[in-house]
Amino acid sequence: MTFALHALAASVIAVALVGCAQPSPGGATATWRLAPGAEPDAAATSIDVLVTRLDCNNGLTGTVDDPTVEVLASEVVITITVSPGPPEVADCRGNDEVLATVRLPQPLGDRPLVDGACRTTTASSTVFCESEVRFAP
């Protein structure tokens, strides 16, 4: 009986630790747009965006993962995913927008902001990516 209790306790601890882990990279695809009134200036080192999960998810976007920010000489590419990953079954009523702040490693300058999902995922063929540029100075 003691062995069974120890095994049960170990299982509970393992599940609890997994539940506290950070989401793995490569969450569900999301697109973003600037939040209303959040147009950045050249000195901006952060921007507020509204993030939406691309896949059907019963109307919920989920938790916004840490974005990937690629600063190039000609543009800043921001790619965002959300967690948890896609459910097995979901309706497609449209997912909510989740406010997130993206930190830039240096001031924006005169570079446009680009949604990386529009270049690297299936989002590229959707209405969300009619233009990958989310802001142009």
> What's the pTM?
0.77
* Distance, CA of 115 to CA of 135 (rounded, Å): 10
Contact (CB, 8 A) for 73 and 37: no
Listed in order, strand segments (DSSP E) in 4-136 are 28-34, 46-53, 63-64, 68-71, 76-83, 98-103, 113-115, 133-135
Q: What is the mean pLDDT of residues 8-36?
A: 56
Q: Average pLDDT of the chain?
A: 83
**Range from 14-18, 37-41, 86-90, 129-133 carrying the lowest mean pLDDT:** 14-18
pLDDT digits (tens, 9 = 90+) for 53-81: 999 888 999 999 999 999 999 999 999 99
Domain ranges across the chain: 24-135
* Distance, CA of 130 to CA of 88 (rounded, Å): 28
Give the pLDDT confidence score for residue 86 in this predicted structure.
Answer: 67
* Distance, CA of 65 to CA of 40 (rounded, Å): 22
pLDDT digits (tens, 9 = 90+) for 105-114: 999 999 999 9
Give the pLDDT confidence score for residue 89 in this predicted structure.
Answer: 73
Q: What is the mean pLDDT of residues 96-120?
A: 97
